Amino acid sequence: MDEIEKALLVAVNIDNQKFFLNSVEELRNLTYACNMDVLDVVVQNLETANNSTYIRKGKADEVKKQAKDMNADLVIFNNELSSSQLRNLQKVLDLPILDRTGLILQIFSKRAQTKEAQLQVEVAKLQYMLPRLVGLHSSLGRQGSGAGLSNKGSGEKKLELDRRRIEDKITELNKELKNIENERDVQRKQRKKTGIPLVSLAGYTNAGKSTLMNALVDTYKKDESKKVEEKNMLFATLDTAVRNITLPDKKEFLLSDTVGFISELPHNLVKAFRSTLEEIKQADLILEVVDFADENYKQHIEVTNQTLKELGADEIPLIYVYNKADLVLKELPKLEDRAIYMSASNKIGIEELVEIIKKNIFKAIIKTKFLIPYDKSDVVAHFNGNATINKVEYVEEGTMLFVECKLADYNKYKEFEKK
């Protein structure tokens, strides 16, 4: 078992930031999510950052002494550091340094499971390293130890990756990602042909998206193997998961879950994960999952909505799912216009949420009747398995089905429609 590292956190409040304390608490949680202990948080209020060391020289000396006294293994800054700041701080502190972006990249490295996610993280790390090669020093080994930079899992211990090699590697990885993206485009087109609606989960990290997906899978699919991993920590889910949810009335939809959002999500990560995140743009409905028990939930909504806008997904119909509401409200579920207050972990409000989903995505359901000849029993079997059968009559010419079916099925079998 790996020894847990001890980190001293440094947070600079530039020009009295509105959500500074929230950001510091988030840094603490990010550190825990990276399986590190937090020794203490050093705070400095500044009007502008120091160009040389971000914090003032006196504060840097203070941090060095405190880190030594507390036997810190590394220092983590709640701000993105430039190459020169990283280099100068390294000289003063004589300890490995991570900034907020580097910390998030390290978490992503540890969590990426699929080939695509690992490639995306690797691209983001290399793009992050490119302007910081001179300043990374011993921190470089830490940045490279996750999904692998050149040798899988080994990390880069020395400054051997020059700019040209990194740029070549980024180009090579992007080609691999493009191939995966093309495969996904083919799958997406095939999915569109089926006419099955897509519902996408979006929201701040750790809002409970995976818990909600599992609650729906457990309620309507009852297949343990289809559940996704859920943990009470930031960025527990990086890999996109898509599950087919078939309801008792035979209506079905696809439910997708992907990486959560966070304030100041590193630009390189957004860029690298863009093809994955853009799956949301294909959705017929977005469920924005909100941790209603978090006192900063309104800020989280702002961040999520801004990210959706940047992705070009802000015009898609959206339902607010105020999750973990059992920690705040006594009576659940509570329904409002385009919002539901519920508890995914306790499965309170699941049926009500599904009714909201149905009203929003099954507008293309056709209600009609078909007269199916007796020698076309395969068509009857198809409707039995894929449509809502309201009534069945057996007449001389065949089986009369009174159905509610998908537009795709209606178009496929409309020759049997009985006017």
Mean pLDDT of 324-345: 96
pLDDT reported for residue 114 = 81
Residues 157 and 246 in one domain: no
Tokens coding 371: 């007269």
pLDDT digits 0-9 by tens, 14-54: 988 888 998 899 999 999 989 999 999 999 999 999 999 99
- Is 138 a residue whose pLDDT tops 70? no
Whether residue 104 lies inside any domain: the answer is: no
Residues 336 and 409 in one domain: no
Residue where a domain stops, chosen among 340, 361, 382: 361
- What are the CA-CA distances from residue 371 to residues 3, 133, 173, 306 (Å)? 70, 72, 55, 50
- What are the CA-CA distances from residue 409 to residues 229, 269, 365, 378 (Å)? 34, 40, 10, 13
- Is 158 a residue whose pLDDT tops 70? no
Residues 357 and 376 in one domain: no
Specify which residues 75 forms β-bridges with. 8, 97
Residues 27 and 67 in one domain: yes
CATH of the domain at 338: 3.40.50.300
| CA 203 – CA 405 distance, rounded (Å) | 32
Whether residue 103 lies inside any domain: the answer is: no
- Is 161 a residue whose pLDDT tops 80? no
Residues 63 and 143 in one domain: no
| CA 53 – CA 87 distance, rounded (Å) | 8
Residues 24 and 49 in one domain: yes
Query: Which range (49-53, 143-147, 232-236) has the least confidence?
Result: 143-147
Specify which residues 399 forms β-bridges with. 372, 394
pLDDT digits 0-9 by tens, 94-110: 999 999 989 988 888 88
| CA 264 – CA 229 distance, rounded (Å) | 25
Whether residue 137 lies inside any domain: the answer is: yes
The Cβ of residue 76 has, within 10 Å, a number of other Cβ atoms equal to: 26
Specify which residues 37 forms β-bridges with. 6
Residue where a domain stops, chosen among 53, 68, 98: 98
Residues 121 and 170 in one domain: yes
pLDDT digits 0-9 by tens, 171-224: 999 999 899 888 888 887 777 777 788 999 999 988 999 999 999 999 998 776
Mean pLDDT of 366-387: 93
- The amino acid that residue 239 corresponds to is D
Listed residue (210, 193, 261) closest to 407, CA to CA: 193
pLDDT reported for residue 149 = 39
Residues 307 and 208 in one domain: yes
pLDDT reported for residue 98 = 92
Residue where a domain stops, chosen among 146, 177, 208: 177
Listed residue (362, 359, 363, 321) closest to 342, CA to CA: 321
Residues 69 and 152 in one domain: no
Percent of the chain with pLDDT strictly greater than 70:
88
pLDDT reported for residue 368 = 95
- Residue numbers of the domain that contains 376: 365-416
| CA 217 – CA 313 distance, rounded (Å) | 25
Residues 162 and 76 in one domain: no
pLDDT digits 0-9 by tens, 3-15: 789 999 999 999 8
Indicate the number of domains in the chain.
4
- Is 140 a residue whose pLDDT tops 50? no
C-alpha dihedral, 359 to 361 to 364 to 368, nearest 10°: -50
- Is 153 a residue whose pLDDT tops 60? no
Stated pTM of the model: 0.76
Determine if the peptide bond prior to 333 is cis (ω within 30°): yes
Whether residue 187 lies inside any domain: the answer is: no
- What are the CA-CA distances from residue 72 to residues 5, 41, 53, 64, 169 (Å)? 8, 12, 19, 10, 34
